[in-house]
Structure 1
């Protein structure tokens, strides 16, 4: 622990000792609004642990995707396991990867405006986005199972009442470039619209030595947004949005030597073609209002990779024991999602003594997914299967807020959900189930003064159980001992999460210091934990969710900024986390037997995280920032004891703007540190000189030193 704190202290001092871009003023801080709750709330008086990342942070990091900014939020981790980091964990809770499992409802939800992305979260692009809200802890009353452990909301920019247009583009190392355009403005007295389109492309950060290519892990992403806003009167508005995302990304991410050189002769792909529509209406009815939202999402998802990682070229250079397999694993999904929500809000804008506000709502969600799976292998032959998985969720919810005094208020919310699922596959496996899920929240909020706010919250959240799809489909092909273990694990139970939290937010020294802190303690009953087993006799990797254990977590989040002068601002975001899984039973690859692991830290739960730095404004339109970020080591699975090492990264940018034109020079991971974002443990290396087929840890590396120049021009 002493070594961890020394590393953190050195990084903090270094970041605060250097100067760089544009600081928020106290007035600007007051305008930061959290939109993910029933009512919009100022960040400094929201009764939750929330990070709001805006265009300033996007600019400082040269961010194009959600994964480029998430590390700025305390106690937020992510796993790659794909071409993008679409698997998010908050306070140690969240999904780690996706193969055959549907994952409509990840523990941490990602939404774009009102659209739930679920397993289509690769579409978390930041072009023409106003802000990203990161809500830690269960959001059960508002979102139910869609935000069991937290939520990330991406808010796109709305149509404007005056005409504006923007052209933007940029280039960077590793063959990266992007270009896009935005047009927004009135289409009549009551109608305004906005269209934004961008292409983002790059070669990736890996060399494929077998094929002589440097783009086998590259990305090619096209994002398009369109919105129409119609306000026929002062009491009614209608919002129609279209969202399209097309990704033709490679997936060639792992190396036998844990470097950036691949020997795969069949590099994979992570492709997505998503089209979604959102329609929203709002009507003001005296002191109350009615809101209705409907969404439709249609996504074609292709995910495949070279399952053996090797090629004839490797075994021509080295001696390979037993030769090598030629195998791929391929997942082709066709997914549709429909949601409908109607909500009634009543009461005034304030919560003074005796004031009452209320919310009542109905929600429905249906997901259908067809999956075609294939595993062609020279050693094990061709295994194919197809499946259909359907789920339905219906919810009734309500919330009351009451002003006990002019400074003290209380709120309580309840959400009851009905969950039903149905699974069928080509191997004759069939399951259906239903669950009743209960979510609730009780919160006290107290204005200590005009500048300080205190809250205390109790929140109960539930996540549905379901089918372990891959394990059910593979069951007939497993070895007898694995069949015996999995017999009681073909389904996983619903999980209950109970969070206790207190928070304090304040602004001091004439608004120059902004401080937000939260202390939490969370317990999970029947915690849904991802695990894996290797059945060597059958040649099967068996992935499943294990719900046989309970888990706990507690920790602290702190976010602060201090205006040192009118043009220099210091900032520090810190997270501390302690987690424990009571007991999990799994198969140990090294022992070759089933084992029980007790009092184990949760996967992807680093003990500390930080993002600290300084930003400044300079004369003649220049601004800049220097930032240090890092995190502690953490386990990356339960079937082994491998860990992702701790790391420290440094980022910086320099911007010039004259109001119409902005030029931004940015760099991330300037020290070019190798660090891992995900890991696997098994025997993959056939080379005799490297311990042929011995179990080893393999890491998917994060981005190396990247830099670029972006230009935007407002017409």
Structure 2
């Protein structure tokens, strides 16, 4: 029945977004997507892409990054920390990390620097645009883009001196202050832009416990937010045909982590609160050199070094909260990571005079190198026993890639792309595991786009993405078969249309997709003893998904903007191989079920209304269907709808905004578990959830010059 509803919704959405055009042919929208080899207008992009522009980000600097992009079709996130560390696209993506190294399914790039493993680094101040690319991006991004890529661009340096100052106050003791300034540093030679932003909040949880001396302790900041981001951008015009861009980022996130309670309320009883921190220094250096009128050379090197801590009170209680007969315990878990990554990417890109095959084909070819290392120290205390575990994980990527964009007719273009990647892994740990692997990975794309007229672009593409295999750190996996897991591959078909109607007042993007996953990587956790569990990655034999993404903008006049988006997703495990302790195959309850964090629908509808001069009212409703929290049990989130609104006043260079998020104070959940945790019920398996943000109210004032 659900499949019929989903299919019917897809047909209805297609009919809605492809009504006949009665308007004159007009130029399509000016939004530019830069994540591919060549910049292209959004309306001319033959891919499922959502773009969140500066006007949408303007009053959201203090918002969580994952909540902002979570409004786009078929994009979800998993928390389990102070912020969400991982993003899922079309139901594919990580949800957590403990001892085992993980390879990302969704790529994340900020100003040419990869942060796929460290989304905690993302803040939205001085950001110009966010691009969300859904589906495999194997040609362009390789192993980090199997499910899709999120590309974030900060504001660029300008010749004219300009700046932005912003301050925010809100409930939960939210305070934020930021400043950005840029302009010419050396006439006709050097431009620069610098920004700094500090965001703090007590968080949405309270804590009450009794300390070791019998004193009652009450706190409201154990799940606090404390984030500092500094950026510097320089653009050097080295010569008439050579430009060099330097981007530098310093991130200092010192958040608390105290989000779960035994009674599923916003009041925790932990007596040892955790941390969710990240300190990063990173840079990218991008050189664009016009070799001759036929081609230009783009060379990029980037480097990042991050120190992270993820820790928590494992028992969620204070010592003495339960009587001895119920077996009280005091556990604490801490994960310290040092991540270092260096990327090099060199590509030749043709220009108009460099087209080949009788001046019909643009071309790109390049080489890519990446070195990544992650050193873990896990400190776990079980009562008075301290357990130390360490592991070292490193990967080396070496890739070559190329793409051809061939004009078959004045309206029809064929795109073919290919990437070959050598992936090497080295792993060792304090349990004397030493594993070294290497494999060859292949991805690519073939697509057709048809520009029917100035207002209609049709496209279809077949793409292949891949995600490398790896090793599970925990030796307590239920079977030796689970110590290592294999590479996953994904074949995906997209078909869509970008259109505009009525003199460009109605703009739509519609994409239908189908994907087939082979050796699908699955995250599982297993409670192998009371108060003891292991998490590990394994492979389902096969899985598939299908659905649609649709976006609509309507401008009936100069004062009103209506918009909406819809994501529909049907995903399931087709075949799942599960092993017992002896290595024998056994039936799995996952077969035929949807993977975790894959809601069947998402939507966002809203309006921007400038009702009198200088005043703008904005309101939107965003909703999401229920989804499984994990691949280990059948607990699901609840479907929800959140309402948000703001009132903005602009005078000269000043802007003042009053905003409310989650207007109706809806309870919803961003992470969930089902396991043995509560001594008061004899450690019976129970459902435990982490709340999303409650109603938040704030005031932001900004000055642009």
Q: Does 1:551 align with 2:543?
A: yes
Shift in Å, 1:55? 2.0
- For residue 252 of structure 1, the aligned residue among 258, 264, 270 is 258
Distance 1:55 1:29 in 2: 19
In structure 2, the partner of 1:363 is: 368
Per the alignment, do residues 4 and 699 of structure 1 end up closer, same or farther by CA in structure 2, a change over 3 Å counting?
A: farther
- Does residue 495 of the first structure (1) align with residue 488 of the second (2)? yes
Change beyond 3 A, Cα 1:659–1:38: farther
Distance 1:555 1:195, change over 3 A: same
Q: In the alignment, what sits opposite 2:16?
A: none
**Does 2:323 correspond to 1:332?**
no
Q: Report what 1:649 is aligned to.
A: 642
| Structure 1, 320-329 or 638-647: larger mean CA deviation | 320-329
| Residues 1:437 and 2:436 aligned together | no
1:504 and 2:497 aligned: yes
CA distance in 1, matches of 2:655, 2:504: 28
Paired position in structure 2 for 1:693: 683
- In the alignment, structure 1 residue 377 sits paired with structure 2 residue 382: yes
The equivalent residue for 2:32 is 33
Question: Is residue 110 of structure 2 the alignment partner of residue 112 of structure 1?
Answer: yes
Distance 1:467 1:77 in 2: 26
Secondary structure of the residue aligned to 1:145 is helix
| Contact 2:333–2:381 (Cα < 8 Å) also in 1 | yes
TM-score, normalised to structure 2, is 0.92
C-alpha displacement of 1:619: 2.1
Q: How far apart, in 1, do the equivalents of 2:360 and 2:3 lie? A: 52
Q: CA deviation at 1:467?
A: 1.0
What residue is the counterpart of 1:209 in the other structure?
A: 208
Q: Say which of 555, 560, 568 aligns to 1:568.
A: 560
Describe the superposition over 1:180-200 as per-residue Cα deviations: whole angstroms up to 9, x where unpaired. Answer: 111101011210111100100
Task: Report Cα offsets for 1:374-405 as digits up to 9, x if no partner.
Answer: 110118x3221111111100000000111011
Larger deviation, residues 404-413 vs 226-235: 226-235
Cα deviation digits, residues 395-448 of structure 1 (max 9, x gap)? 000001110111101010000000001011111111010010000100101001
Aligned CA distance change for structure 1 residues 214 and 534 (closer, same or farther; 3 Å): same
Q: CA deviation at 1:71?
A: 2.2
**Contact 2:61-2:124 within 8 A present in 1 as well:** no
**Equivalence for 1:142:** 140
Q: Within 5 A, what are the aligned runs for 1:578-589?
A: 578-584=570-576
Q: Deviations over 1:86-140 (max 9, x none)?
A: 211111111011112233x310111102111122210111111001000000100
Q: What aligned pairs does 1:221-370 form with structure 2 within 5 A after superposition?
A: 221-284=227-290, 285-312=292-319, 314-315=321-322, 321-348=325-352, 355-370=360-375
The Cα of 1:624 is off from its aligned counterpart by 1.9
Alignment partners' CA distance in 2, 1:488 and 1:502: 39
Q: Which residue of 1 aligns with 2:596?
A: 603
**Contact 1:580/1:601 (8 A) holds in 2:** yes
| Unmatched 5+ stretches in structure 1 | 10-25
Is 1:85 the counterpart of 2:77? The answer is no
Taking the aligned partners of 2:437 and 2:403, their CA distance within structure 1 comes to 29
Name the structure 1 match of 2:13.
Answer: none
What secondary structure does 1:639 align onto?
Answer: coil
Superposition deviation, residue 227 in structure 1: 0.8
Report SS of the residue matched to 1:291: strand
1:389 to 387, 393, 400: 393
| Distance in 2 (alpha carbons) for counterparts of 1:437 and 1:560 | 37
Asked whether the 8 Å contact 1:61–1:667 carries over to 2, the reply is no
Secondary structure class of the residue paired with 2:219:
coil
Q: How far, CA to CA, are the matches of 1:219 and 1:4 in structure 2? A: 44
CA distance in 2, matches of 1:406, 1:5: 39
Q: Pick closer, same or farther for the CA change 1:630–1:44 going to 2, 3 Å.
A: same
Q: Which residue of 1 aligns with 2:479?
A: 486
Contact 1:409 1:445 (8 Å CA) reproduced: yes
Q: How many angstroms apart in 2 are the aligned matches of 1:260 and 1:4?
A: 39
CA shift in 2, pair 1:275/1:400, >3 Å: same
Equivalent-residue separation in structure 1 for 2:576 and 2:321 (angstroms): 38
Listed as ranges, the gaps of 5+ residues in structure 2 are 10-24, 210-216
How far the C-alpha of 1:355 sits from its partner, in A, is: 2.0
Local SS of the residue matching 2:120: helix
- Whether 1:412 and 2:410 are equivalent positions in the alignment is no
The answer to whether the Cα contact below 8 Å between 2:105 and 2:144 also exists between their aligned partners in 1 is yes
After TM superposition, what 4+ stretches of structure 1 lie above 6 angstroms from structure 2? Answer: 1-6, 26-29, 349-353
Distance in 2 of aligned mates of 1:209 and 1:356: 67
Between the aligned partners of 1:353 and 1:635, the Cα distance in structure 2 is 53
In structure 1, how many angstroms separate the alpha carbons of the residues matched to 2:2 and 2:144?
A: 38
Q: Which residue of 2 aligns with 1:676?
A: 669
Q: 1:4 to 1:358 in 2, by over 3 A?
A: closer
| Cα distance in structure 2, aligned partners of 1:707 and 1:206 | 16
Range moving further from structure 2, 301-310 or 691-700: 691-700
Counterparts of 1:594 and 1:503, CA distance in 2: 41
Q: 1:712 to 1:313 in 2, by over 3 A?
A: farther
Whether contact under 8 Å (1:71, 1:629) holds in the other structure is: no
In the other structure, the counterpart of 1:17 is: none
Between 1 and 2, higher relative CO (CA 8 Å, sep ≥ 6) is seen in 1
**Gap change, CA 1:360 and 1:432, over 3 Å in 2:** same
Query: Does the residue aligned with 1:118 lie in a helix, a strand or coil?
Result: coil
Q: CA deviation at 1:659?
A: 3.8
Aligned twin of 2:170 = 172
Q: Deviations over 1:480-530 (max 9, x none)?
A: xx5xx4201111101110001101010101100000000000011001111
Question: Aligned partners of 1:559, 1:314: CA distance in 2, in Å?
Answer: 51
- The alpha-carbon distance between structure 1 residues 4 and 270, as it changes in their structure 2 partners (threshold 3 A), is farther
Structural mapping, 1:466-545, within 5 Å: 466-469=470-473, 471=474, 475=475, 478=476, 485-536=478-529, 540-545=532-537
Contact 1:533/1:587 (8 A) holds in 2: no
> Could you tell me whether the CA contact under 8 Å between 1:627 and 1:651 is conserved in 2?
yes
Q: Which residue does 2:22 correspond to in 1?
A: none
**Structure 1 residue 61: Cα displacement:** 5.0
CA gap 1:400/1:585 in 2 versus in 1, 3 angstroms: closer
Q: If the length of structure 1 is used for normalisation, what is the TM-score?
A: 0.91
CA distance in 2, matches of 1:340, 1:403: 31
How far does residue 31 in structure 1 lie from its aligned partner after superposition? 1.7
**Alpha-carbon separation, structure 1, partners of 2:345 and 2:326:** 58
Q: Which structure carries more helix by proportion? A: 1
| Change in 2 beyond 3 A, CA 1:398/1:501 | same
Contact kept, 8 Å, 1:49 with 1:518, in 2: the verdict is: yes
